[in-house]
Amino acid sequence: MTADNENYKDIPGWGMDADPENEPTYPMKHYTGDDHKRLNYERAAQQPLNVEILQSIERPAPTAVFGTSVPPSGLSGAIRRFAFKHSEDRYRHWLPLILADRINVVEGLIDDIKSGEFPNVFAEKGYKAEWEYNRPAMIKKVFIGAFVVAAICSSLINRKR
Amino acid sequence: MLAMNYRGPYRVRTVQKAIPEILHPEDAIVRVTRSCICGSDLHLYHGMVPDTRVGSTFGHEFTGIVEEVGPMVKNVKVGDHVLVPFNIACGRCNFCKQGLYGNCHESNPMATAVGGIFGYSHTAGGFDGGQAEYVRVPYADVGPTVIPPDMDPDDAVLLTDVVPTGYQAAEMAGIKEGDTVVVFGAGPIGIMAARCAWFFGPSRVIVIDHVDYRLEFAKNYAKCEVYNFKSLEDPVLFLKKTTDWYGADVCIDCVGCEAEGNTLQTLTGRVGLLQAGATTALQWAINGVKKGGIVSVVGVYGPPFNLVPIGNILNKGLTLRANQASVKRLLPKLIEHVQAGRLKPSELITHRVPLAEVADAYHLFSSKLDNCIKTVLIP
């Protein structure tokens, strides 16, 4: 249902308490009234759409420029495409994206191995810095980890017997 | 070219990537000279931001030399040494025209709630960032600013984000002469917010965090009072007591989604991802500020949803102000502050690391090793 108020300025008291100084967004925003023009502004030329872009359904068209890094692919890409069928207001937009991120990590590992490069997880996690600046804590963690693994292995062996 | 490459939570490396190309007539290609790791990059690094894709290059705080420009670029030329604001802004949409350069409507097709940001996930536009030897800079006539010849390049790189964000945090807080200002978080942004708060005339600036070396740095750099919340039984109660049972005049959240200090928030926000990060600092800000006070938020939270005491915002009549910093709007004033010697942002830089060692740099910063405040990557 829409209000049929073409003559809204005839409503008694219309605008009489408006205060242009009541602008809590100043100085972040220099209010000009252009918001009421909505999307009617001079737009930059459109960047060619030659990679797959997942666009929010809350806008009518892609932005004039966009990033082209890592287009969606694989299972994570399929999940991302599903997510972008829903508005930014919906859990079904964000939660699938988080799931896709986690699946994407596994896809990245598989891609690495397929390309013959086994990822050096210790280097990727920056453990060299840990060794250099936090050595006692790192040694402690390694010992605790080794103890836990040994305890689990021992427990499993004893169960089998 | 060498570029940082995200492989998953807590895993990054450098790889060889193709040098970016001009994709739009208003693009420039910039050869990076300095690139910082931001505290908000850690949210990406920790896997907290949705649609962070494996293979992405992070980095939204960088300076560089213009190597190539598109046919419509007029304001910068090849060879210029520029600082590049972290937000990508067209300068033409109604938001940019009103000064909201952090809310451009023509730089991010993937989400309407956030403008385009370099190297900050596909939720912020899917742009590769500046932790690389080269980077594509869209709308090169709007954002990039030629670094004044007398300016220390280390100061310049911090004008891309840290200084404007810290300054805007204080500006949004509407600080009045004599106010008591409380800043949550003693990271680079919190330290800069505390320092910039003095420009607005308060009588007290208090910084609250739990990392002692950072609090010590904040005390010296920002000339403020500092408190470790782990030594306070209840930070909100402490704020009430230290303000004669009134509440702080303004509170500033410079922590964001990875806050510590509240078990329920940590479990639901950081461990279980049941909300878009832990809002502990924001909760303390809302509950520690006076009635009718102002809460300014520059801490980064994810987009989905968070648990905050909204009822207290209503009942206390609070004003909540928040935004990504409008870097372009603030740059003229902040360049003047730096050139006049009132601000020396480069003093925040504690570590310089070659880009090739990016994984160690992230771990160092994330784990707060070696008294790290701010890390700069040198390509």
> Rounded to whole angstroms, how far apart are CA atoms A118 and A12?
74
Residues A9-62 pLDDT 10s = 998 899 999 988 888 887 888 888 899 999 999 999 999 999 999 999 999 999
Average pLDDT, chain B: 97
Judged by CB atoms closer than 8 Å, whether chains meet at A56 and B110 is answered as: yes
Residue A4 pLDDT > 70, yes or no?
A: no
Residue A1 pLDDT > 70, yes or no?
A: no
Nearest CA in chain B to A93: B304
Judged by CB atoms closer than 8 Å, whether chains meet at B363 and A35 is answered as: no
What is the pTM assigned to this prediction? 0.95
Residue A3 pLDDT class (50, 70, 90 cuts)? low
Judged by CB atoms closer than 8 Å, whether chains meet at B359 and A34 is answered as: no
Number of H helices, E strands in chain B: 12, 17
Which of A3-17, A135-149, B18-32, B217-231 shows the lowest mean pLDDT across its residues? A3-17
Q: Which domains does chain B have, with CATH numbers?
A: 2-161+327-378 (3.90.180.10), 162-322 (3.40.50.720)
DSSP-assigned letters across all residues of A110-155: HHHHHTT----HHHHTTHHHHHHH-HHHHHHHHHHHHHHHHHHHHH
Residues B48-57 pLDDT 10s = 999 999 999 9
pLDDT value of residue A29: 87
Cα B37 to the chain's mean position, in Å? 10
Judged by CB atoms closer than 8 Å, whether chains meet at B52 and A128 is answered as: no
- When scoring B110, B128, B274 by the number of chain A Cβ atoms within 10 A, the one with the most, hence best to mutate, is B110
> Rounded to whole angstroms, how far apart are CA atoms B361 and B316?
43
> Rounded to whole angstroms, how far apart are CA atoms A65 and B96?
15
User: What residue spans define the domains of chain A?
Assistant: 19-119, 120-161
